[in-house]
Chains A and B, each alone.
Chain A
């Protein structure tokens, strides 16, 4: 006998009524959290990246305090762990992993892609980061060092990728269309416009 399987709606109703009756969470608060979870997607992170590329003041805020930067764009961050933003430069590339479980900046990137939680990704990201990103078609110049960020505790991390060449006069909303979740995890680089065929894992599925 499994109450959850037999009468899930009744059970959920009872739990909600108890949460409200005990003053733990009101129906409005639950609705707000559901809406925030539904709204979270890589598009939120992409919007932050694109604005950071075009607005130096926002960029500085985002690097200093990712949570406040997200909130300034009306992205709900209440209850989420602090957001840290890792700035890629020509000399330094960041790759995010959670070797212990699946810590992921869900508030700004949504649900993690399935491979992010795989044992293979988690093990290889720290052990063979260059080999791993090569399977995504990503090759870094030899002088660029990789910093693997193992998300183990109370922060959540996203990458601020390098802005691709050939986008000098683009507005932020157009730039945002270039940025994929894989770019903000660090397994790929934001592709130069027109070059997507060379690095086209827009749907996150690495080569075998």
Chain B
């Protein structure tokens, strides 16, 4: 279990570019650093339930992010609070300290401009640059393989 107050980083991973998926981790948080507010309980993994596959029960956390850095706009002090499943979270010992800045690409690389009105695409967006390298410690387990990042 990740204790409240722990700094975590959301995996900068884009499974939707590799296969058909159902993901509950918003794209705008991939690679971003936040802080665990509390453990919300354990739930069957919706990424499996959506395809009627056997679903592992996973810890779900409320994770708090500073809002202005997400879009490079907004009011200092404002926050975004999001439910995130444990396999999507990385701890410091998994390589946060050595990671490059999360703001490594422009927003326009991350989303599809659906209407030209600046509306980000939904979670099934595929606007991910090619050649993307997932940061983190070498040999870090791939979420697609089902290995847990945490004990």
Contact = CB atoms under 8 A, between A and B. Distances in A.
B78 A100 contact: no
A153 B55 CA distance: 15
Contact of B75 (A99, A126, A130): A130
Specify the main secondary structure of chain A where it touches its partner.
mixed
A129 B78 contact: yes
Contacts of A150: 26, 80-83
B119 to A, nearest CB: 5
Nearest to A96: B81
B24 A145 contact: no
A115 interface: no
A45 B28 CA distance: 30
A46 B4 CA distance: 31
B24 A119 contact: no
A189 to B, nearest CB: 17
Interface in B49-97: 60, 64, 67, 70-71, 73-75, 77-85
Contacts of B119: 119-120, 123
Interface in A139-182: 145-155
B80 A100 contact: no
Contacts of B117: 120
Nearest to A86: B81
Interface residues of A, number: 24
Interface string B4-19: 0000000000000000
B78 A145 contact: yes
Interface string B103-142: 0000000000011011110110000000000000000000
B145 to A, nearest CB: 22
A130 B75 CA distance: 8
B28 A126 contact: yes
Contacts of A153: 24, 43, 46, 60, 83-85
Given A153-B46, A154-B60, A127 B74 contact: yes
Given A145-B77, A148-B79, A129 B24 contact: no
A128 interface: yes
Contact of B73 (A128, A146, A147): A128
B67 A123 contact: no
Contacts of A100: 24, 26, 122-123
B40 interface: yes
Contacts of B120: 123, 127
Identify the interface centre among A100, A120, A145, A153: most chain B CB within 10 Å of its CB: A153
Contacts of A155: 40, 60, 83
A119 B28 CA distance: 15
A154 B41 contact: yes
A127 B68 CA distance: 8
A82 B25 CA distance: 19
B78 A152 contact: no
A130 B74 contact: yes
A101 to B, nearest CB: 8
A152 B67 contact: no
Contacts of B85: 153
Interface in A100-153: 100-101, 119-120, 123, 126-130, 145-153
Given A146-B79, A147-B80, A155-B40, 7 more contacts: A119-B119, A129-B78, A146-B75, A147-B81, A153-B24, A153-B46, A154-B40
